[in-house]
Structure 1
Amino acid sequence: MHDSWLSVLKDDLVTNEFLGLKRFLRAEKEAGKKVYPPEGDVYSWSRYTPVSAVKVVILGQDPYHGANQAHGLSFSVRPPTRAPPSLKNMYIALKKDYPDFTPPAENLGLLTPWAERGVLLLNACLTVRASEPNSHASKGWERLTQKVIDVIAARKGVVFLAWGKPAEKRVAKIDRRKHAVLLSVHPSPLSASRGFFDCGHFRKANEWLVERYGEGAEIDWSLKPVVQVVRAVEKGPAAKKKKVEEKEKEKEEEEDVDGERELLERDNREISRVKKKTRARDSLGEVFDEDEEAAMIEATLAAEGALES
């Protein structure tokens, strides 16, 4: 857990309820149960978005319970996993708010760029048993994550995006005079067609941030990869000197990257690549049978066309 969050949550981490949660998780591990996300990612939301950096909060419910999906950020999935249905619907809503928005290549779903820009991607429960949605509900996580919400609510004004009834209940006591609280149905294919696509939350969040804090306070919702510029070929002694300097600089940058990579690998030492492909599941952790999947596809077919236009 990031130090900024640890400092405000430390008292909650030694309560009898939280210690009971830790015992439960230990028992799961000793019983050979597969739990997601990997241990190194349970608190990744805190590391990507420190307390002082929070501008927007997007509330989720249960972590994804399939292999190579959950990594500690609500709605986000690690490559090479493609965006699950709820996240695809978020892309559609974003496209309506910002027509120049382009989903990630190969329809991937890694949302770490948002988290690094001040979007706290927080689930109500921080762990789940593999293939068993809500298996870690009411074990103690909800109290801790509610405290996270309360800590944010006590600080400067931010935007809360609460999608679905469970998320709506979690922000019920937030001061609307201080914060922006935007409510909508969940982006799940089972409910998105009832108003999510046209809720305008991504644009409304930015409009509120700019009105409150001025230009530059808005969130860049893009998920485009960094574009590298190819330089023109230069010749002569000056070019050779410049090339040597560039190589030295590249070596220094590589050393920095190696150092950062080593730290990241240490933080995520429990993470292993899982090649087994699993069926897509929505953010609420629901598993759909074939009939439900057919209905789900039919319900969102028209909306998905917006991404291709």
Structure 2
Amino acid sequence: MSSLKRKAAPLDASDPKKPKSTVNSSITSFFSAPKSAGGAAPRVKFDKKKWAEKLTPEQRELLKLEIETLDESWLAHLKDDVVSNDFLELKRFLKREKEAGKVIFPPEKDIYSWSRYTPLHTVKAVILGQDPYHNHNQAHGLCFSVRAPIHAPPSLKNIYTALRKDYPSFTPPPKNGGLLTPWAENGVLLLNTCLTVRAHDANSHSQRGWEKFTGRVIEIVSKVRTRGVVFLAWGTPAAKRVAKVDRRVHHVLQSVHPSPLSAMRGFFDCGHFKKANVWLRQKYGPDGEIDWNLGTAVVEKPPTAPVDDEFPFDDEIPPEEDLIVKKDSSIKDVKKDIDAITSEEEEALNDVSVQDDGQVSRDASV
């Protein structure tokens, strides 16, 4: 097997993963959803405009960000979740934070960037993080990832070390960078458990509702991506998040967290990156492997705000972190060289429909 597979394609100058700016707040401005990489999305029986028109004025105001920036492949399956009382209360909390002058990371336009870089129908692997980085110019919606000119934080450097053990030819992003968008564009969902945080205040938005929402994201991946997905769960919290994933369909790789506080207890030798590709190759064929190489990553424009050097990265993990690396189950042979999306997956993706009266319904099994 080749070491790192094909090189990642550079981002186009007009980055489709960035949400389109909207000038007015009228209902018509909500429906120019950002285009997503990863090929044309399967046809989904979901009319976002009709759905949004049925929202109450308060719901439409609170969910403006979700309507504009959450990729439609995900929104079609999360539409009932975002109008739940718990999620709306989370949005009210975030609104109060903003009105009180609190600085929140990542920037609003980046909160759902994971959904645009990795649409649902492209997910082949999931890496789970915890809290977003809580200092300036760090978090941008993808767990463990940072944009230039920020250097890779300690946990990500340890991830690079583990990668080199699996693939000695691995090269990180230029200039000691930590941009992981090539992974996201190649089907790796980089998902934090909590999607926002108050500046310089770790875990400040935990237990406010994000955990339930991202738990649904994991559940949707597990149920819709029936071809099979590799879940890389590093640390006790991540292990708990994937406890209900069907291991008969998916492959779960567990290890200690890559934080400097725990990486020496098994992370460097976990071999997850090569194991993931071995399994994906058998599931999807040679083109199913993840290109882990980051040496060709495009250096995005530097942030406009000054780099916040006085605040270091907070790579701490919960004190109960003591998870032992688990052995992987044997990999079974499966049919190779099959289409990117099976008919079963297509049916699952399309399992959202609009009733004759215009009401949106979702099969309870999704």
Residue correspondence of structure 1 range 161-240 to structure 2 within 5 A? 161-225=232-296
Match of 1:17 in 2: 86
Instruction: Give, in angstroms, the shift of residue 180 of structure 1.
Output: 0.3
Match of 2:183 in 1: 114
Partner amino acid, structure 2, of 1:4: S
Match of 2:151 in 1: 82
Instruction: Give, in angstroms, the shift of residue 226 of structure 1.
Output: 6.7
For the structure 1 residues 226 and 86, does the alpha-carbon distance in structure 2 shift closer, same or farther, using more than 3 Å as the test?
closer
Q: Is contact 2:174-2:297 (8 Å) kept?
A: no
Q: Is contact 2:261-2:317 (8 Å) kept?
A: no
Quote the RMSD (CA, aligned, Å): 1.8
For the residue of structure 2 that corresponds to 1:57, the secondary structure is: strand
- Going by fraction, where is helix more abundant, 1 or 2? 1
Instruction: Give, in angstroms, the shift of residue 211 of structure 1.
Output: 1.3
Residues 1:44 and 2:44 aligned together: no
Instruction: Give, in angstroms, the shift of residue 61 of structure 1.
Output: 0.4
Q: Is contact 2:82-2:88 (8 Å) kept?
A: yes
Partner amino acid, structure 2, of 1:180: H
Instruction: Give, in angstroms, the shift of residue 225 of structure 1.
Output: 2.2
Instruction: Give, in angstroms, the shift of residue 283 of structure 1.
Output: 4.5
For the structure 1 residues 214 and 201, does the alpha-carbon distance in structure 2 shift closer, same or farther, using more than 3 Å as the test?
same
Residues 1:277 and 2:346 aligned together: no
- Tell which structure's C-alpha radius of gyration is larger: 1
Partner amino acid, structure 1, of 2:116: R
Instruction: Give, in angstroms, the shift of residue 104 of structure 1.
Output: 1.8
Q: Hey, what's the Cα distance between the residues in 2 that align with 1:282 and 1:86?
A: 10
1:129-184 Cα deviation digits (max 9, x unpaired): 11111100000000110000000000221000000000000000111110000000
Q: Is contact 1:185-1:192 (8 Å) kept?
A: yes
Structure 1: any 5+ residue segments left out of the alignment? 228-260, 266-270, 287-309
Match of 1:104 in 2: 173
1:252-305 Cα deviation digits (max 9, x unpaired): xxxxxxxxx9xxx9xxxxx7433332443144589xxxxxxxxxxxxxxxxxxx
Q: Percent identity?
A: 64
Q: Hey, what's the Cα distance between the residues in 1 that align with 2:98 and 2:173?
A: 35
Structure 2: any 5+ residue segments left out of the alignment? 1-69, 319-366
For the structure 1 residues 80 and 226, does the alpha-carbon distance in structure 2 shift closer, same or farther, using more than 3 Å as the test?
closer
Q: Hey, what's the Cα distance between the residues in 1 that align with 2:166 and 2:251?
A: 18
Instruction: Give, in angstroms, the shift of residue 224 of structure 1.
Output: 1.5
Aligned residue-pair number: 245
Instruction: Give, in angstroms, the shift of residue 107 of structure 1.
Output: 1.0
Partner amino acid, structure 1, of 2:167: Y
Q: Hey, what's the Cα distance between the residues in 1 that align with 2:316 and 2:181?
A: 20
Partner amino acid, structure 2, of 1:30: E
For the residue of structure 1 that corresponds to 2:189, the secondary structure is: strand
Which residue of 17, 22, 35 maps to 2:104?
35
For the structure 1 residues 226 and 197, does the alpha-carbon distance in structure 2 shift closer, same or farther, using more than 3 Å as the test?
closer
1:210-255 Cα deviation digits (max 9, x unpaired): 111211110000111279xxxxxxxxxxxxxxxxxxxxxxxxxxxx
Q: Is contact 1:184-1:195 (8 Å) kept?
A: yes
Q: Hey, what's the Cα distance between the residues in 2 that align with 1:98 and 1:173?
A: 31
Match of 2:9 in 1: none
